[in-house]
């Protein structure tokens, strides 16, 4: 039974990292209105607090997310939230780096939630896919827009047209999954990855993410100018000077985010 006293989305702060947990294990963390709102607010918290540098998004109960809660949808609940879209993430994710930590499975809208993240860590054997066509539906929560930019054409077509899930190891081979963890170890592996990011200059991390995301819309003629517009202030920052000084002095840098 569902524990109504527990929020649908939990957050925990750990050394500059915000761990966001979808907390509806009784329905395999399916996305209802409360989940969409909870994820959206968690991303607002991540982006709005200078003490937080990286987010980790995961699910409770040994699985990531089964997608949209069809029962809630039939009752009139919307799994979309504001301009962030489906699950509070699909159309507008976090400005700061966000890592999906997948146990068990991430299918349908659940996979699209993971694709809304910048990095993916998955437990060995975890299943991922977009089975919508098996129910005469379309994976319109971002998968068909994101995957062609991240995987070969024919691999995307097989996923989209058969609806069959693949193991995490296959997605790792194709570059969609960054790291494979032991079952039960996805969050720990994501925390290790997050720790490597937290050590770096926050201004440089933010600019690097923005350039990688936006460059698909740039032409070859304006790409360099667009890159300078995003990265120029980083080179002129106090943190850039601190990074150079710390390297020369063989010490850890102390970032001021300025």
pLDDT in tens, 122-145: 999 999 999 999 999 999 999 999
Position 69 pLDDT exceeds 60:
yes
Question: 127 Cβ partners below 8 Å, 6+ apart?
Answer: 104, 105, 106, 107, 165, 166, 167, 168
Q: Is residue 84 part of a domain?
A: yes
- State the chain's mean pLDDT as an integer: 96
β-sheet bridge partners, residue 101: 121
**Judgement on whether residues 69 and 98 belong to the same structural domain of the protein:** yes
**Is 39 within the bounds of a domain?**
yes
Domain count, the chain: 2
| pTM for the predicted model, two decimal places | 0.95
- Strand ranges across the sheet with 127-129: 105-107, 127-129, 166-167
Q: What is the dihedral of CA 30, 179, 254, 256, to 10 degrees?
A: -40
Please list the helix, strand and coil fractions of the chain in percent, rounded to the nearest 5, in that order.
45, 20, 35
Is the per-residue pLDDT at 215 higher than 90?
yes
State whether residue 167 is helix, strand or coil.
strand
Q: What is the pLDDT of residues 33-66, one digit of tens each?
A: 999 999 999 999 999 999 999 999 999 999 999 9
Residues 109, 180 within the same domain: yes
Q: Judge if 148 and 225 occupy the same domain.
A: no
Scanning 31-69, the segments in alpha helix (DSSP H) are 33-48
Asked if the structure places residue 2 within a domain, the reply is no
Out of 77, 112, 169, 210, which one is annotated catalytic?
112
Active site residue 158: no
Answer whether residue 148 is part of any domain: yes
Quick one: what percent of the chain has pLDDT higher than 70? 98
What is the C-alpha separation between 82 and 64, in angstroms, rounded? Answer: 23
Distances (CA, A) of 208 to 115, 203, 212, 231, 252: 18, 9, 6, 8, 21
pLDDT at 183 over 50: yes
Cβ pair 108, 90 in contact under 8 A: no
Same domain as 64, residue 167:
yes
17 pLDDT band (50/70/90 cuts)?
Answer: very high
Task: Encode 194-206: b = buried (16+ Cβ within 10 Å), e = exposed.
Answer: beebbebbbbbbb
Q: Which of 26, 103, 132, 169 is catalytic?
A: 132
Is residue 255 in some structural domain? no
Cα 191 to Cα 39, 187, 202, 206, distances in angstroms: 19, 6, 17, 18
Tell me, yes or no, whether 39 and 157 share the same domain.
yes
Helix (H) or strand (E) holding 234: helix 223-235
We report the CATH number of the domain holding residue 51 as 3.90.226.10
Q: Are residues 97 and 60 in the same domain?
A: yes
Active-site residue, 26 included: no
Note the pLDDT of residue 3.
53
Structure confidence at residue 87 (pLDDT): 97
Please identify, among 198, 222, 238, the residue that sits at the C-terminal boundary of a domain. 198
Domain match, 193 and 209 both: no
Residue 208's CATH number: 1.10.12
Same-domain check for residues 16 and 113:
yes
Which residues neighbour 6 within 8 Å (Cβ) at sequence distance 6 or greater? 23
The residue segments making up the domain with residue 228 are 202-249
- What is the reported pLDDT for 253? 95
Given pLDDT bands bounded at 50, 70 and 90, which one contains residue 162?
very high
Contact call for residues 55 and 97 (beta carbons, < 8 A): yes
Say if CB 52 and CB 95 are below 8 A apart: no
Residue 2 has pLDDT above 90, yes or no: no
pLDDT at 86: 96
- The verdict on 131 and 237 lying in the same domain is no
Residues 176, 204: Cα–Cα separation, whole Å? 23
Asked if the model's pLDDT at residue 1 lies above 60, the reply is no
48/128 same-domain check: yes
Same domain, 69 and 176: yes
Residue 257 lies in a domain: no
Note whether 121 and 139 are same-domain residues.
yes
Q: 41 lies in a domain?
A: yes
């Amino acid at each position: 039974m569902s524990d109504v006293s527990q929020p649908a989305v939990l957050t925990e702060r750990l050394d500059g990292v915000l761990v966001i947990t979808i907390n509806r294990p009784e329905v395999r963390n399916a996305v209802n209105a409360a989940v969409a709102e909870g994820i959206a607010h968690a991303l607002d918290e991540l982006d709005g607090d200078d003490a937080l540098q990286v987010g980790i998004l995961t699910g409770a109960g040994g699985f990531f997310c089964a997608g949209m809660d069809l029962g809630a949808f039939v009752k009139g609940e919307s799994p979309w939230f504001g301009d962030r879209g489906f699950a509070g993430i699909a159309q507008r994710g976090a400005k700061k780096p966000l890592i999906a930590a997948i146990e068990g499975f991430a299918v349908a809208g659940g996979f699209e939630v993971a694709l809304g993240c910048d990095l993916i860590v998955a437990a060995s054997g975890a299943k991922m896919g977009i089975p919508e066509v098996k129910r005469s539906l379309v994976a319109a929560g971002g998968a068909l827009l994101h995957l062609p930019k991240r995987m070969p054409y024919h691999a995307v077509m097989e996923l989209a047209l058969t609806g069959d899930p693949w193991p995490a190891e296959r997605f790792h081979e194709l570059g969609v999954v960054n790291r494979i963890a032991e079952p039960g170890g996805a969050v720990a592996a994501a925390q290790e990855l997050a720790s490597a990011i937290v050590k770096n200059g926050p201004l440089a991390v933010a600019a690097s993410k923005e350039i990688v995301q936006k460059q698909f819309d740039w032409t070859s003629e304006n790409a360099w100018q667009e890159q300078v517009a995003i990265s120029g202030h980083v080179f002129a920052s106090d943190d850039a000077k601190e990074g150079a000084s710390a390297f020369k002095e063989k010490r850890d840098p102390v970032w001021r985010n300025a």
